[in-house]
Amino acid sequence: MNPRITVLTLGVDDLDAALRFYRDGLGFATEGIVGQEFEYGAVVFIDLQPGLRLALWPRTSIAHDTGLAVQPASPTHMTLGHNVASKAEVNAVMAQAASAGAVIVKPAHDTFWGGYAGYFQDPDGHLWEVVWNPQWIAQTG
């Protein structure tokens, strides 16, 4: 298999609240909620970078589409990594997330591997790691 990931979908409990957090709080550009004319179709798409989108979709819609029952959420099932160009940018993003209503799980700190990172949770508990990795400088700019 040649991986071609184009959409990362986060299951949310309140699509309007998730939209406000990501669009208004974090400043992510989006057309807002689309697909409301379809039962189980309301979704938010956010362009992250060329060829990659973030989708916010109600957990009940995911359950309906897959045929699986809604399960308890677990923030440790996955994390989303947001790599930035400096320690100062880690601090700025963490502050912006806190202002938007995120829960700061682990404040920004020097890591054991030589980087600088912190964790926050969005309103649905999804974990984001904001990280500066000195080995990835060319990839974050």
Has residue 1 been placed in a domain? no
CATH of residue 125: 3.10.180.10
pLDDT number for residue 136: 81
pLDDT for 139 equals 53
CA–CA distances in Å: residue 28 to residues 22, 45, 49, 130, 138: 6, 10, 11, 15, 23
61 and 79 fall within a common domain: no
State the pLDDT confidence band at 137, using cuts at 50, 70 and 90: low
How many separate domains does the chain show? 2
The length of the chain in residues reads 141
The Cα 139–Cα 141 span in angstroms is 6
pLDDT tens for each residue of 72-85: 989 999 999 999 99
> pTM of the prediction?
0.91
Q: Containing domain of residue 79, as a range?
A: 75-140
Does 99 share its domain with 53? no
Beta-carbon contacts of 30 under 8 Å, excluding residues fewer than 6 positions away, are 19, 22, 23, 44, 45, 46, 47
Phi, psi (degrees; rounded to nearest 5) at 58: -55, 140
* 37 pLDDT more than 70: yes
Round the average pLDDT of the chain to a whole number and report it: 95
